[in-house]
Amino acid sequence: MQGRPGTAAERRVQPASGARIKTRAASIAERARELAEANERLRRERALSELIIESAAEGIIVVDTELRHLVWNPAIEGINGQPRSAVLGKTVFEVTPGFADHPVGRAWRQAVSGKRAEIRDFRFFSQARGAEVIYDADFTPLYARGGAIVGAICILHETTDRHRVEEMLRQSQKLKAVAQLTGGVAHDFNNLLTAVVGCLELIRLQAADERTANLAAAALRSANRGAVLVQQLLAFASRQELRAEATDLDALLRDIEVLLARTVGDSVDIVLDNAPGLWRCEIDAAQLEAAVMNLVINARDAMPRGGRVTLRTRNLTAEALPADADLRPGEYVALAVEDNGEGMTHEVMARAFEPFYTTKETGKGTGLGLSMVYGFARQSGGEVRLESTRGAGTCVTLYLPRAALSTAADRGDVAEMAQRGSGSILVVEDDRDVREVSIAMLSSLGYRVSVAGGGTAALEALRRPGPIDLLFIDLAMSSGISGVALAREARLIRPNLPVLLTTGCAGDGPEANEFPIIAKPFRRAELGRAVAELMAASRGLTE
């Protein structure tokens, strides 16, 4: 029996149902496409977020509510030194136990409780860099869409460079203050030393017996030490140029060995390990003595129970220099000062050459010793290297440029050669003691000496007829015309007149370089050579 055919209405519904199915399928496909696009956008956004986090210069750390690390970007790896593989999944306090009772730990707890926190100028020694890092850190809660806290994020902004610039400015201001102080007293102090040194030299030369001559020589050595101290202060304050000369380093160390031994005491042995055939080096001998003294004192302080300080010298060809040395190509003399003391931590080594940095108790160290050594080495055209192992000692090595083969004789021999001469010299000096000793020195060298106490009297003497073969002027007189101005006026009155300036404080301005200059306190031999050379040059011009 055949089924009854559907009604007309039923037959009309069937095509409509098929259309709905098609529409629904199209809708599902559209939703699937939209969902795929949304997933692709989310994928791209996530990839972009990860790229931003990975590329950010700031350190970024994300934790969950249990303070377990979820994100640890490369920048924070560079600051902290620990790779993310050693950190992710661990809590803040598992990674850094010291943060439990630390402002950083409190800031994290505050952030996951819903409150923002910040830390400014936090100092952290980075094992990755081997140096102290300074940064600002902002801690912010992380919220889900529903408002629940799901963790916290910390963004670290490093401020090390800014602090370094600010510290350099502060140090510059300190150095400026030191320069003003030393410059203010150096002239008067060097006037005093000029009188003392000059009188002692003359007493030694004219002594009737050996005992008096020896006593004068001992006092003269002490006065010369005082002059060296003033030079060191002026050099540190950038008020005095280094006086480089060919120096026998081994001879210098032998000369000061006894002084070094007395300085460090009986509990510390001083050992000289001199290289045979050591080259001369081109340095300021007085500044090198001060550098060695600073290094030996530092070594002594690193050995409170006693020990050994070895001073080792050696020649270095260009090929033997350290590969990373910041030195001009050439040959150098190396001086290593090595102790077997406590050694330095990485933190101390990173700041060892900073001016005014010291690990000593208040009143027991200025923090200037190693910075002066560093400045001396660099200013001399050399370099200084520091090596130290905690518990095994420290070695500081100075690389000093080799002297040219044509440079002259030993310091001691040159200092004693007094050149005699003849002629008439006008001395212009407002300090009575310096004036008297200058007269005595020049007279003992064979010169006829006349005197003017100031610029006005000197100009009057120059205008009067009579022989004046050289003008010897104090650069910084207390009143009236300055030394340079007087020299210029003198040349107008008597063209080609030789002029020799003297000063107790270097750094008197570029105009001082217009004329030859001799620094106070000057030695008799030094004064004699300077005068003789100027007079000989003047006679050569007039002949």
Supply the pLDDT for residue 353: 67
C-alpha distances in angstroms, 470 versus 419, 423, 443, 503? 16, 8, 14, 17
Supply the pLDDT for residue 26: 75
The model's confidence at residue 114, banded by pLDDT at 50, 70 and 90, is very high
Supply the pLDDT for residue 363: 41
Looking at the predicted structure, is the pLDDT value of residue 24 above 80?
no
462: closest CA among 427, 436, 435? 427
Average pLDDT over residues 406-414: 39
Q: What is the pLDDT of residues 145-172, one digit of tens each?
A: 888 999 999 999 888 878 777 777 776 6
Which string of DSSP letters, residue by residue, matches 294-325? HHHHHHHHT-TT-EEEEEEEEEE-GGGS-TT-
Supply the pLDDT for residue 382: 87
CA 54 – CA 61 distance, rounded (Å): 11
Q: Quote the pTM value.
A: 0.49
Supply the pLDDT for residue 2: 52
Q: Residue holding tokens 């120059």?
A: 462
Supply the pLDDT for residue 442: 94
CA 104 – CA 122 distance, rounded (Å): 9
Average pLDDT over residues 190-208: 86
Supply the pLDDT for residue 531: 92
Q: What is the pLDDT of residues 315-330, one digit of tens each?
A: 988 888 887 777 888 8
Average pLDDT over residues 386-403: 87
% of residues, the chain, pLDDT over 70: 81
The model's confidence at residue 336, banded by pLDDT at 50, 70 and 90, is very high
Q: What is the pLDDT of residues 172-186, one digit of tens each?
A: 676 667 666 666 677
Greatest mean pLDDT among 32-41, 239-248, 353-362 lies in 32-41
Average pLDDT over residues 285-294: 84
315-331 burial, b at 16+ Cβ within 10 Å, e below that, comes to bbeeeebeeeeebeeeb
Looking at the predicted structure, is the pLDDT value of residue 415 above 70?
no
Average pLDDT over residues 342-352: 73
The model's confidence at residue 8, banded by pLDDT at 50, 70 and 90, is low
* Cβ within 8 Å of residue 496, ≥6 positions away: 538, 541, 542
Looking at the predicted structure, is the pLDDT value of residue 111 above 90?
yes
Q: Residue holding tokens 């009854």?
A: 4
Residue 396, amino acid: V
Average pLDDT over residues 44-52: 75
pLDDT, averaged across the chain: 80
Average pLDDT over residues 37-65: 80
CA 292 to chain CA centroid, Å, is: 17
Which is more confidently placed, 421 or 46?
A: 421
**Which tokens hold the place of 188?**
């008067």
C-alpha distances in angstroms, 442 versus 171, 224, 435, 452? 44, 20, 11, 15
Q: Are the C-beta atoms of residues 233 and 186 closer than 8 Å to each other?
A: yes
CA 522 to chain CA centroid, Å, is: 30
Phi, psi of 292 (to 5 degrees): -65, -40
Q: Which residues, listed in sequence order, are joined to residue 513 by a DSSP beta bridge?
A: none
Alpha helices in 237-310 (DSSP H): 249-264, 285-301
Supply the pLDDT for residue 47: 74
Supply the pLDDT for residue 364: 45
* Cβ within 8 Å of residue 336, ≥6 positions away: 310, 311, 312, 313, 314, 395, 396, 397, 398
- Helix or strand run (H / E) with residue 123: strand 117-126
**Which tokens hold the place of 457?**
């009297």
Q: What is the pLDDT of residues 208-262, one digit of tens each?
A: 888 888 888 888 888 877 776 676 566 555 555 566 778 888 888 988 888 888 8
CA 173 – CA 171 distance, rounded (Å): 5
CA 132 – CA 434 distance, rounded (Å): 52
Looking at the predicted structure, is the pLDDT value of residue 356 above 60?
no
Q: Does the CA dihedral 291-350-307-382 come out positive or negative?
A: negative
Residue 295, burial from CB neighbour count under 10 angstroms (0-12, 13-18, 19+): buried
% of residues, the chain, pLDDT over 90: 22
- Helix or strand run (H / E) with residue 435: helix 432-444
C-alpha distances in angstroms, 199 versus 416, 439, 521? 15, 11, 11
Average pLDDT over residues 401-414: 53
Which is more confidently placed, 349 or 238?
A: 349
Q: What is the pLDDT of residues 452-463, one digit of tens each?
A: 988 889 999 999
Which is more confidently placed, 132 or 265?
A: 265
